Amino acid sequence: MDRSGVKKRLLGLDREYGILLVIVAFIFTVPLWSRPIPGSVLHMDIVNIMCLAGTYACAVLGLNLLVGYAGQISLGHAAFFGIGAYTTAILCTRLTWYPTWLGVLSGMVLAGVIGWLVGVPVLRLKGHYLAMATLGLGEIAFILFTQLKWLTGGTVGVLNIPPLSVFGFAFDSDLKFYYLVWAVVALILLFSVNLIRSRVGRGLRALHSSEIAADAMGVPTAHYKIRVFVLSTVLAGLGGAFFAHFQRYINPETFILSLSILFVTMVVVGGMGDIWGGLVGVIFLAFLPPVIQALPEWIPGIPEGLTNFGNYQLILYGILLIVFMMFLPRGIAHGLERGAAFTNRRYRLLADHVKARKYE
């Protein structure tokens, strides 16, 4: 083994693990400083927003692997999110003895099975066909959630979903759920980092840059694409199942096209194919609406009528989305990295220069 590799690992200079550690530490401290202060300017319930964001993060991190590494977009991940949510919700409310953690697992499995059934035929196609097919699938799932009344409760949905509990410990408050969901998100991140470094991950990266080249080099591209797609649906199912146990109530109107679009937007705004990008996108878009909503309190003088709820917020949301794509087309995470790298660049250029000299 090459010496520098060993040294790098020994010194713990593994960039990804380092970032992960920082994130975990940060997540752990959030509830400590973010207690909402009544009457203060920033009066939003950060832990509560983060709980919901955590459930989205599960789906988005999976989708990010699909978009970023398999180069495929899905406009139907709300369906898999919904399948996860409905599976656990129905099992745990109909069969009162059914353990909630098993409900979550069942939701993941069912989402994955349906993902596999859809993925195998569709992923043979190239281009944006998966996006179109998953869009159709999402709409069909929504119709089924609404129409299969005997199973899903129709438009009313499923009420009285129990909180998630493991070995008798119930995650029945925002704070408890916060630590649970973000611990799971951290595990998914760790898994993603390892996946990308594995042989499969290298294959995926080759796949993303050129499918034909990857094919030629013996990477089983079709196989990999399906695996990543199924993985992303399983993670969406996990997010959905968490969502059901957190909200304690679900109805079909949650699992609509705009949720699928929100997931894709989170991936792209954060940074496609950058593991941290998905996370950044989730947090950014989860906090954008409450921050926009709080704006008139900070900046007086916004014209009357425009401040009516929903109007300026959505106009501004739309415009910000465009502006961010324009200036950070490769995502916020990439922008952050570039900002951080800027300071290092001169040094690195010099180092390369010196190295180049040495071998001349």
Partner 1 sequence: MSGKPVVRSAVLLLCLAVVVSLSAVGCGEQKVDTSKETYKIGAVLSLSGPASPLGQPEQRALEMLQEQLNAGAGVDGHQVEFVIEDDESLPAKATEAMNKLITTENVAAVLGSSTTGASLAMSEIAESKKIPLVVCAAGTQLTQPVKKYVFRTPPTDSMAIAKVLDYLVNKAKVKKIAILHDANAFGTGGADELSKKAPDEGIEVVARESYGSTDTDMTAQLTKVKDTPAEALVVWGTNPGPAIIAKNMQQLGINIPFVGSHGIANKKFIELAGAAANGVVFPAGKMLIPSSIPEDSEWRTAVDDFKTEFKTKYDLEADTFAGHGYDAGLIVTEAMKTAGTDKAELRDQIEKTKDLVGIGGIFTYSPTNHDGLSEDDLMMIKIENGNWTEDK
Partner 2 sequence: MVGRDADNRILVGGAAAAFCVLIVATLVVKGSTGLQWIMSGMTVGSIYALIAMGFSVIYSSTHVINFAQGEFSMLGGVLMFSLVTRGHLPTWLGFIIAVLIVTAIGAGLERVAIRPMRNHSVISVIIVTIGLAIALRATAKWIWGTDPVRVTAFSSGTRVKILGAYLPPQSFWVFGFAAVAVVLVFLFFNRTLLGKGMRAAAMNPDAASLVGVSSSTSSLVAWTIAAALGSAAGIVIAPIILPSFSSGAMLGLKGFSAAVVGGLGSAPGAVVGGLVLGVLETITAGVLPTGYKDAIAFLLLILVLLVRPQGLLGRAEDVKV
The site for partner 1 (CB under 8 A) is made up of 36-38, 43-45, 48-49, 52, 146, 154-157, 159-160, 172, 174, 243, 247-251, 253-254, 293, 308-311, 313-314
Member of 5, 38, 39, 121 binding partner 2 (CB under 8 A): 121
Q: How are beta strands 165-166 and 169-170 bridged, if at all?
A: antiparallel
Report the alpha-carbon distance of residue 280 to residue 331 in Å, rounded. 9
Counts of helices then strands in the chain (DSSP H, E): 15, 2
Closer Cβ to partner 2, 21 or 306, answer by number: 306
Q: What share of the chain is helix, strand, coil (3-state, %, to 5)?
A: 75, 0, 25
Q: Which is nearer to partner 1, 96 or 308 (CB)?
A: 308
**Given candidates 21, 210, 344, 349, which one binds partner 2 under the rule CB under 8 A?**
210
* Assigned token pair, 332: 């916020």
CB of 247 to partner 1, least distance (A): 6
Closest contact distance (angstroms) between CB of 300 and partner 1 is: 18
- Contact residues for 125 (Cβ-Cβ < 8 A; gap 6+): none
CA 210 to each of CA 129, 131, 226, 320: distance values in angstroms, whole numbers, following the listed order: 18, 19, 17, 32
**Residue 165, SS3?**
strand
Q: Per-residue x/- marks for partner 2, 238-257, CB under 8 A?
A: -------------------x
Given 83, 108, 268, 286, the residue binding partner 2 (CB under 8 A): 268
Residue 250 φ then ψ, to 5° = -135, 150
- Kindly list the residues in this chain that would bind partner 2 in the complex (CB under 8 A): 67, 73, 121-122, 125-129, 131-133, 135-137, 139-140, 143-144, 146-147, 210, 212, 257, 261, 264-265, 268-269, 272, 305-306, 308, 310-315, 317-322, 325-326, 329-330
